Every structure is written in C-alpha cells, then in structure tokens.
A and B are shown apart, each in its own frame.
Chain A
Amino acid sequence: MSQRYILVNPEVCIGCKQCELVCSYEHEGVYSSALSRIRLVRFEAECLNVPVTCAYCEEPACEKVCPTGAMTVDPATGAARVIEAKCIGCKECIAACPIGAVDMNSRTGVAMRCDLCKGSPACVDICPTGALTFGFVNQTSRDKRRSRVLTLLFDEPEGRRA
C-alpha cells in the first residue's frame, strides 16, 4: 500500500466547503461547488458534515464500466485521469460508482473524478481542521488503533494522538 490517498475524518469536519471552492479553482479556475471533485455532504438539522471524494478503489467500478477507456489511472503516478477526448459522456461511471464520487462536468460534458492535484491535493492543503489528510492507508489504521486504545485506557478525549 504505497499509494497515498485523501483520507476523510468526518468527526472534525466543520463543513466550511473550502475544499470544494479550492478544488474547482484548481481544476477550472473558478469557484463552484458543482465543478468540484470533492463534495460536502451536509445534514443541516444535525449539523453533520462529511466530505466525499474518490476513494481510489482497488477495483474501480467506474473504470470497469467505461466503454471507451476514458476513465483511467496514470500508471506512473497512480492518479486518476479522465481522457477527455475518449469520454462520450455516457454517465455509466456515475451510475457505477458506489459512493457517488464521480460527477459530470457541466462545462465540458465529460466525467470528472479526483486526480489528487498532481500529488498535492488543494483540498487537503486548505482544510482548516485536518478533516482531510493525504496519507497512507496503513497510517490511518495505525493512528486509529492508538487513539482508541488511549481512550479506553486513560479516558483521554477521542482523536488525541499518542
């Protein structure tokens, strides 16, 4: 598991939407939630905020269903890439993605999916609370193990790092 991913900790997300704003700026040069590759899911009555973006599945359904080979991963960097010239806008990828992380770009009519900003995701950089991190999966599970054990043993607030 040497690949780094955007890891989401909804416990500390405050729902500011800056991730959406900088994502659309980075990719489209404008501010627009609708053009963002990461989307904030909000439940307003409960003030619950969860950012959702491409999970980089080991077996990506979006790539599997893509009829033209437009939905790909760059083997050199591991970053997702939509080859715009090949995408016919059939929306199969959107139907197939089980977490809703693929969307249509209303400006170009092709699919859009998180490309990790060439290795330095803007959404992670801007995230004010650390709800988004760019790291290795085994790191996340290690931190979770330590944090939970600490909470159980010493009654420390959850999420505190040892």
Chain B
Amino acid sequence: MRSLAGDILFIDLTERRVWREAVKKDDILNYLGGRGINSRYLWHLADAGIDPLGPDNPLIFGTGLLTGTAAPSSGRTTVTCKSPATNWYLKTSGGGHFGGEMKAAGYGHIIVLGIASEPVYIWIDDDKVEIRDAKAFWGMDVRQVDGAIKAQLGDDEVQLATIGPAGENKVLFASVMFSVYNAAGRGGAGAVMGSKNLKAIAVRGSGAVAAAKPVLYHELAMEAHQSVLADSGAEGMHLYGTAGSLNGVNEVRALASYNFQRSHLDDVHTITGQYLSEAGYLKRAVACYGCVVGCHRYSKIDQGPLAGTFTGGPEYENFVALGSGCGTLDTEAIIKANELCNILGMDTISAGSVIQWGMESYEKGVINRNDLDGEELLWGDGQAIIDMLSKIAYREGFGDVLAGGVKRAAEKVGGDSYKWAVHAKGLEQSRVDTRSAKAYALAFAVNPRGADHLHTETFAEFGMSPEARELIERITGDEKYVTPYSSEKRAEIVRWHEDTYAVTDALGFCAFMTTAMYGITPKMMADLFSAAAGHDFSEEEIMLAGRRILTLEKSFNVREGALREHDTLPWRLMNEVNPDRPEPDAINSQEELDKMLDEYYQLHDWNRETSRPTRKTLELLNLSYVADELEEAGKLDPAG
C-alpha cells in the first residue's frame, strides 16, 4: 500500500537523474500537503533572483494530502514555481484526474529540476520512471499530444499533464493542462514547463491508499458528501457551472466588460451557464477526480460555421474574459475561443485580457493597423479574437507582443496604454470588478501571485446564498457587512478566506466547496486531516497551518524584494469610477486601499510600512528558518 502523503519524486532533467524521498512527518504537520509542501520546497530550491525560465526554477507538482481518497472534491493538483509573468511566487491549481492517478502511483509531489537538452516527456508507471524522447510530440496541441502519448504507451487511461504550443513558445500565461481541459492556468507555469523542454508528464498508478484511522475517516468522508450536496448552491453548480452566477455578478455591477470600462450590461443571457444548457451547447456536466458536484462543462457546437468545435468549458471566467470583456456576447465565438485556449494551452483570463487591452489600444489610437499586421482589432469581433489567440500562442505578428501579458505589452507600445492594462504584480486581473467588490479588492492587492481570486475567493461578500451571508456574519459579527461595496471588515474577511483557501489547496479540496459554496468547513477539514494523518488537529490548528503556508508564500516574495508598494491594484480601478455604478465608493482609491492594507497587515502582525512579516510572527508560525534567511538578506524589519 502507498502512504497517504505519497513520496516526493525528484527528476533532474539536466542530469537525467531520478530519485525519490519520503514526505517528512514534520512537513505534513506544518504544511499539510499539496500547495503547502510545494511552497516549502520552492523556498528551499529557488534562490532569490533566479530566472523563472532558466534551469534554476523548480517546477513542483503536488497532490493534496487527501487526494486519492473518497473525501468529496479532493482531487486537485497544485503547480508551484517562480512565475515568469510576475517574477513573484506562483501556485496554480488544476482539476481533472491527474492528481488521483499520481497518488495511486505513490507520489504526493513531483519536483522537476533543470532543463532537458531536447524535448522530453516523463513516464511514471508506478515505481518505474523514465525520461523519454518527445521530439515527435513537440508542436502538437494539448488534445493531440494527449492522444499521441496514450497511443505510444498503449494505454488510453494514463493521466497526462501537458503543455501546448503556447507553453513551448513560452507565452508568459501558458498553462499546464490536466486531463485535456483542466488548466493550471494562471501565471505561466506552462511557460516554465516549456523552458524545460518538458512536453508532458504521463502517469499510471495502480496502488491503494488508506487513512491512519480508516473507519473514522470514511465516516467523515461520507458526512462530507452529504454536506457538500446539501449546500444551496450545489444543484445550480451542477446544472449551470460557475457561469450560472454570471447574471448575479452583472446585477451587482461587478461583471468586468469592455476591459473593465463597463461592469453591467443590459442583457448577458447568452453568456450564462443557463443559456449554454438551454441552447443545447452543453452536452455534459463533468466532474474532476472525486467531485460529487461536477461543475465543469463539456460543450459542442453542432451547426453553423463553427460546427465541430468541442471543448471543456466555458466557465464564468472564460465567458467574461473572452466574451463580454472583449465586447462580445456571441456564445459560439466564445466556445471556439475557449477551445483554442485549452488546446493551445493558454490561460483564458490572461488571453482574453491581452486581447481586450489590444482592442482598447486600437480604439484609442495607441496602436494602428501597421502594428496589427494590417488587420483591425475591433470590440466584439469574434473572428478577430479567434485569430489573435493563435497568433499569441505561436508568437506571430502582434501576438508576440501580447504573449508577454498586458504589463509588458503596455511598456512596449507606450502612451497611455498602461492605464487600461488591468493587472497587478504583472498578473491580469480575474474578471471581477473590484470597484464593486471590496474584499476582492484587498485580496487581489495582497495576493502573492497577483490580481487574482484563486488564492482568496471572497465570493461570500456578495451574499448570494444563505450560507454566504451566515459566513460573513460569523467572521465579522454583524450581517450588515454582507455587502460587496463596503470596505469595512474586509481584512477579517480576507484573512479567513486566505487561511481556509490554503488548507483547501493543501488537502486537495476544490475551493468551490469551501469558499464559494461552504459544504466543507475548516472544522471538517481539521477532522478529516486528523483521521487521515493520525494526529489530532483542531480547527484553530489547521487554520494556523493555512496561515503558515500563506506567510511562507508572502515571505518568498519578500525575499525577492516585495514591499508594500507591490500590494496594489490596476490603474484603471484606482483612478476611474465604475461607470455603471456611479457612487462615490465605486472606485478602488489609494486611500481606501491603504486603509484596508493597514488593517490587513496589522491582523497578520506584519510590518505596516514594508508589509514584511516580522520575526515574532514568523517564529509563532514555526518559520524561524525563514526569519533567519530574511534577516541575513537584510529583509527583516527590526520590529513589528
């Protein structure tokens, strides 16, 4: 039988050497698994200042501690490295079935080091690990390479993590793709994989895992099933996916449209999950490993000029980034664009973001037809979006400029284009208008990986379900704080979600079950962990582990030179009032952000001037080795 935590598989592509180590018990107690143990290894393996696309950037895959068990929705995989998009810390997580297979093969983590001299893939067949030639697969899209490697191995049921052409060409928002359509999309982990000449990791696992207290664990897992399915949002998520909430986000004036120039449109029905289903594009609801909700979509276009298009998705972010954000509500164009992002291996949020930035730059005359290889780039032109996605993945013409993300693209074309380059820390913002969502605003500003919701999903502030309203009341002590427009108590809301999210990722759970729906609570995670690891953890203790993970990630950025000034938001959102909600608070002003940051740093007991964690805080979290190293580098402040 395999150990529940799995071993750590090291693969040095430069030396062509493979070895494995057991996960230390101490690391399980401090960092739990998945994202937590990944970040522990990133801290040790990645020195400050390394080139994210060079040989010294480790690419770390981690399954959750509970991945491979019957705990519901616990099959996610976290990919960790230094981001080539932001040059800061990156964790990006994906669903699909890769994590479950990896665990059955005996591994909790796979750490890829160095760079192969020519294209390779890694074949993990339980205990047997090979570095194989992948020259024949280089250039293939994600769907092609998935089929081709399965054919070469003679097994259609192996699980793959792959990159597409975007990763090969080091597009800075290239994704790592699991099970064809499940992306670890944000921050460019696919470009790091491409820089290593690593086309894929294929894994087959035939082993078994069990909890330390198997009977208790199984009972708790079965209770968790009931709890997940009892959440008021579960049925809607199954029927309509994440885009089922799109109308609601539009109503509260937070739907990022026309590159954040609009936050509400009259009628967005054709980009909702409800429409995807009723118009017949949705063919199947799909689950990730172990998930009993199944919010993932499988869509197909049967008729018309785009007939034959089929893909996983679209989800909320895809509809908004590739649709309303680019000024189109054309369902079919968005499905096609989603398919291209998936098979070319690119993050849909960033890909949509660079295109809408380009549309606005063209409209405002910062770029012209000459820059665009003689073409136009007009709002709402679905074909232009589709064409540009391929140009980005292959770095052709203006696509090469966009492949660097909006921050670099704005630096390149100049003028006022930085004002509508909607990013923070160099990561294109998720499609929530933070001028109408203040906990998101704070969360996006402090997120170690940039302006993004998948480190701290504060969906509860919208109050769209009874569970969400109850949660905000529990965190803040008063139901009056259930409003996305108030900046009060946002620090408390963000910190609860940070801790919970980190535990969620470390155990392998899907954040939708803990921080968008609430069927799996921190208490349940503590109990499951205790039964799994055979070591009793209270809710407080497991939340502290979450904070430890988050603080270590923050410290990674501090070691790289991060200061308070880096915890900021996109220029547009800080300087232009939300036009569809013309209230005085419909802006992320520096003053308001500063107030929330002060509260947030204070809550963490970090230095408010610099944002850096103090020695006291680090030592309370068993992170004295971090304090020592930061002190040596002159990056530890004398006192809180």
Contact = CB atoms under 8 A, between A and B. Distances in A.
B312 to A, nearest CB: 6
Q: Which of A18, A28, A45 counts the most B-chain CB atoms under 10 A from its CB?
A: A45
A32 B208 contact: yes
B180 interface: yes
A22 interface: yes
B209 A126 contact: no
B104 interface: yes
B68 A31 contact: yes
A46 interface: yes
Interface in A83-108: 106
B143 A25 contact: no
A17 B179 CA distance: 14
A16 B291 contact: yes
A48 B292 contact: no
Contact of A34 (B206, B238, B290): B206
A33 B229 CA distance: 23
A47 B209 contact: no
B624 to A, nearest CB: 37
B104 A34 contact: yes
Contacts of B1: 30
Contact of A31 (B69, B225, B288): B69
Q: Range of interface residues on chain B? A: 35 or more
Contacts of A46: 298, 310
Given A25-B218, A31-B69, A31-B70, A18 B290 contact: yes
Interface in B274-303: 283-294, 296, 298
A44 interface: yes
A44 B95 CA distance: 13
A42 B100 CA distance: 14
Given A34-B208, A42-B157, A17 B97 contact: yes
Given A32-B207, A33-B104, A45 B146 contact: yes
Contacts of A33: 100, 104, 206
B294 A128 contact: yes
A18 to B, nearest CB: 6
B287 to A, nearest CB: 4
Contacts of A129: 238, 285, 294
A48 B284 CA distance: 8
Nearest to B96: A44
A7 to B, nearest CB: 19
A17 B207 contact: no
Contacts of B298: 46-47
Interface string A101-126: 00000100000000000000000001
Contact of A16 (B143, B210, B294): B294
Contacts of B283: 47
Interface string B197-219: 00000000011111000100010
A128 B104 CA distance: 23
B287 A24 contact: no
B208 A35 contact: yes
B405 to A, nearest CB: 29
A156 B595 CA distance: 55
Contacts of A21: 69-70, 290
B501 to A, nearest CB: 22
A29 interface: yes
A31 B100 CA distance: 10
B214 A29 contact: yes
A15 interface: yes
A30 B292 CA distance: 19
B72 interface: yes
B474 to A, nearest CB: 27
Nearest to B277: A157
Given A34-B208, A45-B147, A128-B229, A18 B70 contact: yes
B513 to A, nearest CB: 13
A28 B292 CA distance: 22
Q: Which of A47, A106, A128 counts the most B-chain CB atoms under 10 A from its CB?
A: A47
A45 B69 contact: no
A15 B286 contact: yes
A14 B70 contact: no
B485 interface: no
Nearest to B181: A47
Given A29-B210, A29-B214, A47 B312 contact: yes
Contact of B286 (A18, A31, A47, A128): A47
Contact of B180 (A14, A25, A34, A45): A45
B145 to A, nearest CB: 11
A16 B289 contact: yes
B358 to A, nearest CB: 31
B209 A30 contact: yes
A52 to B, nearest CB: 12
Nearest to B218: A25
A14 B225 CA distance: 15
B209 to A, nearest CB: 5
Interface string B65-99: 00011101000000000000000000000000100
Interface string B134-152: 0000000001001100000
20 contacts: A14-B285, A18-B72, A18-B225, A21-B70, A25-B70, A29-B214, A30-B208, A31-B70, A32-B209, A34-B207, A34-B208, A44-B180, A45-B310, A47-B181, A47-B312, A49-B286, A126-B70, A126-B292, A128-B225, A128-B292
Interface of A: 14-18, 21-22, 24-25, 28-35, 42-49, 106, 126, 128-129
Given A14-B291, A14-B294, A44-B180, 11 more contacts: A14-B238, A16-B291, A16-B294, A31-B209, A31-B210, A45-B146, A48-B284, A49-B286, A126-B222, A128-B292, A128-B293
Q: Give the top 9 A-B pairs by smallest Cβ distance, nearest first.
A: A32-B208, A14-B294, A47-B298, A128-B292, A30-B208, A14-B287, A16-B287, A21-B70, A34-B206
